[in-house]
Amino acid sequence: MSTQPIEITTPAILTTIRSTPATFLMCPPRLYDVNYVINPWMAGNVHASSRTRAAEQWQRLYEAVSTIADVQLVEPEPGSPDMVFTANAGLERNGTVAISSFFHPERQGEEPHFRRWFELAGYKVIDTPRATPFEGEGDALFSTDGTRLWVGYGPRTVASSHHTLRRIWGIEVTSLHLIDPRFYHLDTCFAPLEGGYVMYFPEAFDQASLARIEAYYPLEKRIIVTESDAVCFACNAINVDRTIILNNISAGLRHQLESRGFEIIEVTLTEFLKAGGAAKCLVMKLSRSVL
């Protein structure tokens, strides 16, 4: 979606319509830490991150995101060190938010905090069933034209949660099976990009899922990420119009993206990689700013 003004000439007047600016929800890392191990990245990193460095890195991400979007903030809460990863709060579209049901008890305490934020902000809030874990935008990404919802399952979100999403928004849902424990959320290995592109790490998916991706995105629209970029969370990218914000990537991938017209902003996010997250995990897309 373009944020450029669109000029429409009518017989009587000249009207300028500006599409809504992109909006993201972020959570300052004041209480961020690696306190437990619920993914392979956290192993060996318990209490190994620096809160000062994390704050500096998050601030740079916040500033970069603020240049292309509105940013709303949710306060961090004691006992929820992973709350910085707001992508997992839920999934929002058209003012309705499906609140996550986390797979791991370690993160379930975040649910009421995020629910309260959305209620106060005036969203229609829907709780997803505890029996069928669903980890929000971490595992559910709309195609950039908004017509399709790609939903990951396996390590966290279960496939049987997908029909709830289909019912809520009446949208076509395509399930993708994640088979590599390092890429435990869809947004760690798959990024729909403006212009009909997709950037992804194929080895993270089973054959049937790859076939679904390839059936939707023609070859010239697929940007394949190497393992060395994938483990630096290259696919964990924030994209608004032609701008992509992500952790540090190889010169080769940067060139591939730039040659397709994208402007790349790299933000070092090493402290968050220790918890298994990077740029995209630290934001949740909202369809509107103020209700």
3-state helix, strand, coil in the chain (%, to 5): 35, 25, 40
Q: Between residues 89 and 265, which has the closer beta carbon with respect to ligand ARG?
A: 89
The C-alpha atoms of residue 228 and residue 112 are separated, in whole angstroms, by 37
Q: If phi over 0 gives left and psi between -120 and 50 gives alpha, with beta otherwise, what is residue 107? A: alpha
Computed over its alpha carbons, how large is the radius of gyration of the chain?
18
Q: Between residues 84 and 125, which has the closer beta carbon with respect to ligand ARG?
A: 84
Q: Between residues 19 and 88, which has the closer beta carbon with respect to ligand ARG?
A: 88
Question: Judged by CB under 6 A, does residue 31 bind ligand ARG?
Answer: no
Q: How large is the greatest C-alpha to C-alpha distance in the chain, in angstroms? A: 67
Cβ–Cβ under 8 Å, residues 173 and 165: yes
Count CB neighbours of 290 within 10 A. Answer: 8
SS3 (DSSP) at 141: strand
Span from 3-11, 35-43, 162-170, 200-208 in contact with ligand ARG (CB under 6 A):
35-43
Q: Which x/- pattern, by CB under 6 A, does the window 102-131 give for ligand ARG?
A: -----x------------------------
Query: Which residue lies nearest ligand ARG, judged by its C-beta?
Result: 138
The C-alpha atoms of residue 212 and residue 209 are separated, in whole angstroms, by 5
Positions 41 through 70 that interact with ligand ARG (CB under 6 A): 42
The C-alpha atoms of residue 162 and residue 158 are separated, in whole angstroms, by 8
Question: Judged by CB under 6 A, does residue 281 bind ligand ARG?
Answer: yes
Residue among 49, 80, 88, 243 that touches ligand ARG (CB under 6 A): 88
The C-alpha atoms of residue 263 and residue 193 are separated, in whole angstroms, by 12
> What pairs with residue 6 in β-bridges?
17
Across the beta sheet with 90-93, what order do the strands follow?
90-93, 96-99, 124-127
Question: Judged by CB under 6 A, does residue 239 bind ligand ARG?
Answer: no
The C-alpha atoms of residue 250 and residue 114 are separated, in whole angstroms, by 35
The C-alpha atoms of residue 45 and residue 144 are separated, in whole angstroms, by 35
Let me know the angle formed at the C-alpha of 129 by 148 and 167, rounded to the nearest 5 degrees: 35
Question: Judged by CB under 6 A, does residue 279 bind ligand ARG?
Answer: no
Catalytically active residues are 185, 281
Residue among 29, 154, 155, 276 that touches ligand ARG (CB under 6 A): 276
The C-alpha atoms of residue 163 and residue 92 are separated, in whole angstroms, by 16
Q: How far apart are CB 268 and ligand ARG at their closest, in Å?
A: 17
Q: How far apart are CB 100 and ligand ARG at their closest, in Å?
A: 10
Q: Between residues 87 and 238, which has the closer beta carbon with respect to ligand ARG?
A: 87
Span from 110-118, 144-152, 185-193, 259-267 in contact with ligand ARG (CB under 6 A):
185-193
Q: How far apart are CB 180 and ligand ARG at their closest, in Å?
A: 13
Residue among 85, 150, 183, 190 that touches ligand ARG (CB under 6 A): 85
Residue among 162, 238, 277, 283 that touches ligand ARG (CB under 6 A): 277
Question: Judged by CB under 6 A, does residue 237 bind ligand ARG?
Answer: no
Q: How far apart are CB 137 and ligand ARG at their closest, in Å?
A: 7
Question: Judged by CB under 6 A, does residue 194 bind ligand ARG?
Answer: no
Which residue ranges make up the site for ligand ARG (CB under 6 A)? 38-39, 42, 82, 85, 87-88, 107, 138, 185, 187-188, 275-277, 281
